[in-house]
Structure 1
Amino acid sequence: MNDKMFKYFISLALLLTSTAVSAQTIFDVELVFFKRINDLHLVGQPEPIPLSEEFDSESSPFYLSENSPMLPEGYTLLSRQQQQLEGVYRRLRSSSDMRPLLHIGWRQELQDKADTPWLSFNLTDSPQVKGLEGFEGIIRLSRNQGLVLESQVVGYKEPTQVEVFDTVDEETEEVSNLDLPFEKQQDDVESNAEDQEFHENLQIPDELSGFFEMSETLKVKLGKLYYIDHPTMGLLVKVTPYQASLEEQDALN
Structure 2
Amino acid sequence: MPIYQRLEMPYYLLHSYADLARAQASYYDEYPGARYPGFNHNFALLSLNAAIVEGNLRSILHYHLFVEDEAAKKQGIKNGQAGPSLPERTLTRFRIDVDTVWTWDKLKEGFRFVFDKPLGTLCSTQVLEAIDHLFTIRNRAAHGSSIQLPKEKLVAEDDEYLYTLQNKLQKLTDYMKAKFGVQDLYEGLGHRNTAEEFWKTTKQFFGELEHLAQQPPPLKKNIDAIHNYEFGGPFRG
Report the structure, 1 or 2, having the larger helix content: 2
**Which protein has the larger Cα radius of gyration, Structure 1 or Structure 2?**
1
Same fold (TM over 0.5): no
TM category, shorter: under 0.3
TM-score of the aligned structures, taking structure 1 as reference length: 0.23
